[in-house]
Amino acid sequence: MTNTVIQESMPTTKTQDLGNYLFTTLRDVGVQHCFGIPGDYVLTLFKTLEETPGIQAVVGTHEPCSAFSADAYARSKGLGVLLLTYGVGGFNVMNGVACAYAESSPLLVISGGPPVQDQNGQNPFAPQAHHVVKLGTSQLDAFEQITDLTLRIDDPATAAERIRKAIDHTMRVKRPVYLEIPTDLMSAQILIPEQITQQALRNSKSLDKAVELFRNRITDSRTPVIIAGVEVGRFKLQDQIRQLGSELKIPIVTSVLGKGLFDETEVGIYGMYGGIISQSAEVRQMVESADLVLMIGMKITDVNCGAFTANLRQDQILIAKSDWIGDGYLQFSEIIPFDQFINKLVNHLPFADQPRDLPVAVGMSYPYQNTQMDRYLDVLNEFLTAEHVVVADTGDSCYGSLLLTTQRENGYLAPTFYNSMGFAVPAALGVQLADPRCRPVVLVGDGAFQMTGVEFSNLVAWKSNAVVILFNNNGFGMQRIFVDGTFNDIARWDYTKIVELVGGGQSRRVSAPEEFRSTLKEVEQISDVPTIIEVDVEQGDISTGLNLIGDAFLREKRGICPMSVDETPCDYQNHCAFCRAVIWK
């Protein structure tokens, strides 16, 4: 039996307006907000959205902001929706959609498109429609490179099935899907099947063999460790991983991209592992000395392996993620659904012949004494509670904050792998709309804020109580690590004035860690508006976290092994799973 998905449609008995069917279906699967900017190719859908109870539009200040907001909403809620006009809107969001694809975010991109008749015409004298770049299919063709599936509705008879397929596929694979709807079909009456179902036929023999492999290897190990990756959160498998760890007494750490999956103060949760960027030296030692490493839902990326400093033996690894279930060398030939595998494994846990005791909690070492940024981050670490979700932009905001201790499930959000600047401020809006119980703590540099910081106005409009912490180090601080020059300098803004520009919120400025501490205590009492705190950082000052991983990446970019100390070949290349000795000097 092969691993296939069969769609079944029952006989059609009724019709419905296409836009109404689209938004009521989205609402019924839990979507309450759609992000985007109206344009003439999508105005009809925006009007239908406005008239549909239980779901509403969130209009951004710029399409890239809407993309980041929708991505963050998707990561938190399980499905995000981006609604945009053709051409100028579609091409404007591509960076944000690429970020969602790279980091496995279930984002549904819905774009208006040229009328059906424009797609079928071959008349060379017919005027080309505005916003079309080259061909009427150019936008759809471009989105094929950054989504898992592209669909265009071209027939009312099959429109409902394509809408349902787009939604189901996005939620199932946890990656973006593109759906294009021609303007002349947006209000069309479409045929609605009585029922649209998906029946998954799975290869049970491969699934059973995979579970048996993991059971046997776990039983034979004495010091196993679980590294939980980003897909654990996307598939909402935290409880299953907790059960696996607690019943078998296996310590759990997260990957870099998986940072924040768990409350990091929980018993059995030991922080984050990423080679040189691990949350503490004890965490790194515990993982790298394990005789079995279960990499569950972990994407294999340069960031996750700490810029190639993760020292893990390939023969001591088991991998379970959406596109690979097997050991460090081979995967099962048949595709095994990741979530089904984890659920079956947890329901068939091995019996531990030799009882294992969890190690003593190693704690989270935060080297706040080294630099100004470390001292600021240490103050922030003391401020964080179970209410807060840290939303970090790239650069020192991200790599410095990886050493923070978050205290809630899904308590950390950042574009840690794709590393797009401008993510955090728009993402804070998406996070809080997805979960109104949380309070976003946004970490952003001055460079990233100049890209998308005006989205602070939407935090005001939606009555967010987000705390936006802007580290002002006079330019692109992370880039200075690799190559410095005047091109890394940016204009000096008075960022506290944004509250006057957008007509709401509060602002503060601090220039020392103790001043930062007292300001955070004050801001903690502000519950009805967003607050921006401009934090002065000396140019060139960076956190220990950014210094560690930045130095490793710098060496790797120069063709030097990041693991070597004196630029001589190290002795890890014979067994390290992540070694790239063939390109290092």
| pLDDT at residue 479, rounded to an integer | 87
Distance CA 155, CA 150 (A): 16
| pLDDT at residue 129, rounded to an integer | 78
Percent pLDDT > 70 in the chain is 88
| pLDDT at residue 570, rounded to an integer | 61
Among 210, 211, 220, which Cα is nearest to 351's? Answer: 220
| pLDDT at residue 39, rounded to an integer | 94
Q: Is the pLDDT of residue 6 over 50?
A: no
- Is 313:575 a contact under the CB 8 Å cutoff? yes
| pLDDT at residue 182, rounded to an integer | 95
Please give the average per-residue pLDDT across 74-97, as a whole number.
96
Distance CA 483, CA 488 (A): 9
Lowest-confidence pick of 150-159, 238-247, 382-391, 561-570? 561-570
Q: Is 322 exposed, middle or buried (0-12, 13-18, 19+ CB in 10 A)?
A: buried
Chain-centroid distance of CA 283 in Å reads 24
Please give the average per-residue pLDDT across 149-162, as a whole number.
95
Q: Is 253 helix (H, G, I), strand (E, B) or coil?
A: strand
| pLDDT at residue 585, rounded to an integer | 47
Residue 563 pLDDT grade (very low, low, confident, very high; cuts 50, 70, 90): confident
Query: How does pLDDT run across 330-369, given as a tens digit for each residue?
Result: 777 678 899 999 999 999 887 666 666 677 766 555 555 6
| pLDDT at residue 556, rounded to an integer | 82
| pTM score of the predicted model | 0.92
Sign of CA dihedral 23, 63, 443, 400: positive
Please determine whether the domains at 4-200 and 372-542 fall in the same fold group of CATH.
yes
Chain-centroid distance of CA 285 in Å reads 27
Q: Is the pLDDT of residue 488 over 60?
A: yes
| pLDDT at residue 196, rounded to an integer | 56
Reported as half-sphere exposure (CB side, CA atoms, 13 A), residue 560 has a value of 12
Q: Give the CATH number of domain 203-347; options: 2.60.40.1080, 3.40.1410.10, 1.10.540.10, 3.40.50.1220.
A: 3.40.50.1220
| pLDDT at residue 380, rounded to an integer | 96
Q: Is the pLDDT of residue 497 over 60?
A: yes
Please give the average per-residue pLDDT across 59-83, as a whole number.
97
pLDDT higher at 518 or 571: 518
Residue 583 pLDDT grade (very low, low, confident, very high; cuts 50, 70, 90): low
| pLDDT at residue 109, rounded to an integer | 98
| pLDDT at residue 558, rounded to an integer | 80
- Average per-residue pLDDT for the chain: 89
Q: Is the pLDDT of residue 467 over 50?
A: yes
Distance CA 359, CA 290 (A): 12
Domain boundaries, the chain: 4-200, 203-347, 372-542
- Is 422:62 a contact under the CB 8 Å cutoff? no
| pLDDT at residue 355, rounded to an integer | 62
Query: How does pLDDT run across 281-297, given as a tens digit for each residue?
Result: 889 999 999 999 999 99
Residue 2 pLDDT grade (very low, low, confident, very high; cuts 50, 70, 90): very low
Reported as half-sphere exposure (CB side, CA atoms, 13 A), residue 12 has a value of 13
Query: How does pLDDT run across 170-213, given as a tens digit for each residue?
Result: 999 999 999 999 999 999 999 998 765 554 545 578 888 999 99
| pLDDT at residue 3, rounded to an integer | 47
- Is 38:60 a contact under the CB 8 Å cutoff? no
pLDDT higher at 478 or 65: 65
Any idea which fold 4-200 has? Rossmann fold (3.40.50)
Query: How does pLDDT run across 505-542, given as a tens digit for each residue?
Result: 999 999 999 999 999 999 999 999 999 999 999 999 99
Lowest-confidence pick of 38-52, 149-163, 182-196? 182-196
CA-to-CA separations, 504 to 33, 500, 507, in angstroms, rounded: 23, 7, 10
CATH superfamily, domain 372-542, is: Thiamin diphosphate (ThDP)-binding fold, Pyr/PP domains (3.40.50.970)
